[in-house]
Protein backbone atom coordinates (compact mmCIF):
# COMPACT_ATOMS: atom_id res chain seq x y z
CA UNK A 1 0.00 0.00 0.00
CA UNK A 2 1.37 3.39 -1.02
CA UNK A 3 0.17 6.78 0.14
CA UNK A 4 -0.14 9.61 -2.37
CA UNK A 5 -0.32 13.19 -1.01
CA UNK A 6 -2.55 15.84 -2.59
CA UNK A 7 -2.30 19.47 -1.49
CA UNK A 8 -5.50 21.42 -2.13
CA UNK A 9 -4.89 24.06 0.54
CA UNK A 10 -6.24 27.45 -0.52
CA UNK A 11 -8.63 26.00 -3.11
CA UNK A 12 -12.38 26.43 -2.77
CA UNK A 13 -15.23 24.06 -3.61
CA UNK A 14 -15.44 22.24 -5.98
CA UNK A 15 -11.71 22.22 -6.81
CA UNK A 16 -10.47 20.02 -3.91
CA UNK A 17 -12.91 17.23 -4.83
CA UNK A 18 -12.26 17.59 -8.56
CA UNK A 19 -8.51 17.29 -8.00
CA UNK A 20 -9.04 14.31 -5.70
CA UNK A 21 -11.23 12.61 -8.31
CA UNK A 22 -8.47 12.95 -10.90
CA UNK A 23 -5.73 11.86 -8.49
CA UNK A 24 -7.56 8.79 -7.19
CA UNK A 25 -8.06 7.48 -10.73
CA UNK A 26 -4.28 7.54 -11.16
CA UNK A 27 -3.44 5.36 -8.14
CA UNK A 28 -3.72 1.60 -7.65
CA UNK A 29 -6.62 -0.09 -5.87
CA UNK A 30 -5.63 -0.41 -2.20
CA UNK A 31 -3.41 2.68 -2.25
CA UNK A 32 -4.37 5.75 -0.25
CA UNK A 33 -4.75 9.38 -1.18
CA UNK A 34 -4.09 11.90 1.60
CA UNK A 35 -5.78 15.19 0.78
CA UNK A 36 -4.98 18.37 2.69
CA UNK A 37 -7.62 21.09 2.37
CA UNK A 38 -8.47 24.40 4.02
CA UNK A 39 -11.97 24.83 2.56
CA UNK A 40 -14.46 24.27 5.43
CA UNK A 41 -16.91 22.75 2.94
CA UNK A 42 -14.49 19.89 2.37
CA UNK A 43 -15.62 18.36 5.68
CA UNK A 44 -18.94 17.39 4.06
CA UNK A 45 -17.73 17.16 0.45
CA UNK A 46 -15.21 14.34 0.91
CA UNK A 47 -17.51 11.89 2.74
CA UNK A 48 -20.08 12.46 -0.04
CA UNK A 49 -17.36 12.01 -2.68
CA UNK A 50 -16.29 8.69 -1.16
CA UNK A 51 -19.85 7.44 -0.89
CA UNK A 52 -20.56 8.37 -4.52
CA UNK A 53 -17.36 6.80 -5.88
CA UNK A 54 -17.22 3.67 -3.72
CA UNK A 55 -13.88 4.59 -2.14
CA UNK A 56 -13.27 4.36 1.62
CA UNK A 57 -12.76 7.40 3.82
CA UNK A 58 -10.31 6.07 6.39
CA UNK A 59 -9.83 9.18 8.50
CA UNK A 60 -10.55 12.88 8.84
CA UNK A 61 -8.28 15.00 11.03
CA UNK A 62 -8.25 18.76 11.51
CA UNK A 63 -5.08 20.40 12.76
CA UNK A 64 -4.30 24.13 12.72
CA UNK A 65 -7.12 24.82 10.25
CA UNK A 66 -5.98 22.13 7.81
CA UNK A 67 -8.31 19.23 7.12
CA UNK A 68 -6.58 15.96 6.25
CA UNK A 69 -8.59 13.20 4.56
CA UNK A 70 -7.16 9.74 4.00
CA UNK A 71 -9.03 7.92 1.23
CA UNK A 72 -8.42 4.34 0.17
CA UNK A 73 -9.07 3.54 -3.47
CA UNK A 74 -11.50 0.65 -3.41
CA UNK A 75 -12.89 0.81 -6.92
Distances, alpha carbon 19 to alpha carbons 4, 34, 47, 64, in Å:
13, 12, 15, 22
Catalytic-labelled residue, pool 11, 13, 23, 70: 13
Q: Would residue 13 show up in a list of annotated catalytic residues for this protein?
A: yes
The residues annotated as belonging to the active site are: 13
Amino acid sequence: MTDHPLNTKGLQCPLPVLRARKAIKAIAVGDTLTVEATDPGARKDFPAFCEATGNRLLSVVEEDGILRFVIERAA
